[in-house]
Amino acid sequence: MDERSSRRQRLQHKMKETGIDLCVVTQNVDLYYFVGSMQTGYLFIPAEGESIFYVRRSFVRASDEADIAVEELGSMRGFGSRLTQAYPELFRKPGGEQTIVAAEYDVLPVQQFQRLEGALPGVKWVDGSTLIRELRMIKSPGEIAAIRESARVIDIAYETAIKALRVGMPEVELMAIVESVIRHNGHMGLMRVRGYNQEIITGMIGAGSAAAMPTYFDGPAGGQGLGPASPQSSGRRPIEANEPILIDIGCCIDGYVIDQTRTAVIGELPADLREAYELSEAVMRRTEAMLKPGVPCEELYTAALEQVRVAGLSEHFMGFGGDQVKFLGHGIGLEIDELPVLAKGFRYPLQPGMVIAIEPKFTFPGRGVVGIENSYAITEDGFEKLTVSREGIAAAAAPF
């Protein structure tokens, strides 16, 4: 059985367990995950039987890419009757029993959902997003291999960036070097985010006070960006000597992302910032010791909070003030913000196949951000560190 067929079967098994008759998949990434194509349309996966991909555009390309039956979508006015013919046992239940249909409530636009409601009157709609995200949370060896390749490429870019660092270089120039290297090595040119109104470029390269500027992005370091229309990541501010340079970058190969952060400096960091960086590595080492199947995700976060509290740096951990984020790490894969989340309330036990980015960072307003981020695959007896870039504060040549 091929990988995508196995994914659909595992979803069908979960649907049966939860009483769902039919799952409608509409989002690009989920479509790609289940059928290998992200052409515009609706994928219908029944709890039993064969799936059908109804495509608006491009039918020709979807027919070539998808590994299941593909049909042209046509008019929504007659779509309900077509589905009834395709799945008579689901829409003609005895005794007037309602058909339970799940959709991705977390990403499905209201307008599109209302069209589906109009095409399928009388069914009961439920949220299927968690079902799908939990399925995607466990990666196959092939998925992990793609993330491993992204890690290899981002390491090339990181080393190139460190060699190019110089006083007076604008942050965005350093980011352009990273983007050029990864693009030439297979980066797709984008990294996908599931969260509403969340966007990501290639990550965030920020120096000094600019890196510590808060923004809307749900992460511990925002960056100044190029203006209100792009209020995150790198800006035009020149990089100065003896200030922290946060290099939080990613790469996406064949749809799968890596997420890593390193700290650099031209010259020397002030002693307190260096100590904060050393604490970030200490938090990472303690977290690594807990990366074993069965450990609840929230325990990794609470242990880090206690370690930081004892060190007296709680107010700077993962942001500052009201802009602190309440997590230590997150799942990665086809999107940068996958399950699980290392945060309070997330009781998922670590399982083999999970891939998690762990990012202990410290923000000092007006001065900068220091920290580290590695990505890990959970294995049967522990973890594999997927990130290959060297750790420690990368010291570029002194400006004298």
How do residues 127-142 score in pLDDT, each as one tens digit? Answer: 999 999 999 999 999 9
Rounded CA-CA distance 384/352 in Å is 10
pLDDT tens, residue by residue, 287-326:
999 999 999 999 999 999 999 999 999 999 999 999 999 9
Using CA atoms, how far residue 101 sits from 20, 86, 168, in Å, is 6, 15, 57
- Domain residue spans of the chain: 3-135, 138-396
Q: Which fold has domain 3-135?
A: Creatine Amidinohydrolase; Chain A, domain 1 (3.40.350)
Quickly state the pLDDT bin for 96 (edges 50, 70, 90). Answer: confident
- The reported pTM is 0.95
Q: In what order do the strands lie in the sheet with 394-396?
A: 203-207, 245-253, 256-266, 394-396
pLDDT tens, residue by residue, 163-174:
999 999 999 999
Quickly state the pLDDT bin for 398 (edges 50, 70, 90). Answer: low
CATH code linked to domain 138-396? 3.90.230.10
